[in-house]
Amino acid sequence: MALAADRAGHRVVGLVPGPSGVCAPSLARFSLAHAAIPASDLLILGVPDDAIGAVVATLAGVDTGVVCHLSGFTSSEALGPLRSGGRSVGALHPVQSLPDPEQGAAALRGSFAAVSGDQPAKELLNEFARSLGMVPFEIEDAMRAIHHAAAVAASNFVAAALVVSRRLAEKAGVPVEAYEGLTSRTIANVAAGGIDALTGPIARGDMGTVRGQLAAIAREAPDLLAPYVALVKATASLTTHRESIESAVEAYE
């Protein structure tokens, strides 16, 4: 976020490193490792959800107009104690995977961002998000947990499924690139048709194929059996074949 803001023409007055006290090389020039937090228009908290409360307790005297956090899950009300002194609080959640500062800064452009909070905070955060090339949308604080669950499903669950696919492909001696077109087309199909786009043995209720796959995985890649069974059951729960599929996988749980 600091890199993206700097490249968009904002003046980044400082960045407080995490517990290690070390900034990535690309962020070193912003480091406030041994200095007080200077005055700013916007103070952004990029910390784990469980740490927000503790960090808020240290910021009572900071001179800033708006304070926001980047959590998709936590309500902006977690920053409520900072409203004194005319400050406004909000939340800005980039709906994007940010694996490191450089890739993350580039990925923000074109990404959506969930905004909530006090009206003055929302106005500034919408403007800030747009300045980074993001597409902001407002969401009620009460719906942030549901929004974040959707984001986890769209990212983490997909990543987990693709990791299982990659490892099974390696076991079979098949290049992982062989499945890239399938993944891309599946995403496009779901975007166009939702659950009606689901294909394959689970959607068809093809018990023999499902059992055969599980038997092969148990034999050739037993370390992947548990996650595969979990994915089978999760997929089956969205179809009319839930009970028969669950019966088919019982022997492998």
Q: Which CA distances in Å does 24 have to 3, 30, 58, 130?
A: 11, 10, 24, 25
65, burial (CB in 10 Å: exposed 0-12, middle 13-18, buried 19+): middle
Residue ranges of alpha helices (H) inside 17-118 are: 52-56, 101-108
Sketch out the chain's domains with CATH numbers. Answer: 2-139 (3.40.50.720), 147-252 (1.10.1040)
| Model confidence at 113: pLDDT above 90 | yes
User: pLDDT value at position 241?
Assistant: 87
79, burial (CB in 10 Å: exposed 0-12, middle 13-18, buried 19+): buried
User: pLDDT value at position 36?
Assistant: 86
Predicted TM-score (pTM) of the model is: 0.86
| Model confidence at 3: pLDDT above 80 | yes
3-state helix, strand, coil in the chain (%, to 5): 60, 15, 30
- Find the mean pLDDT for residues 9-20: 87
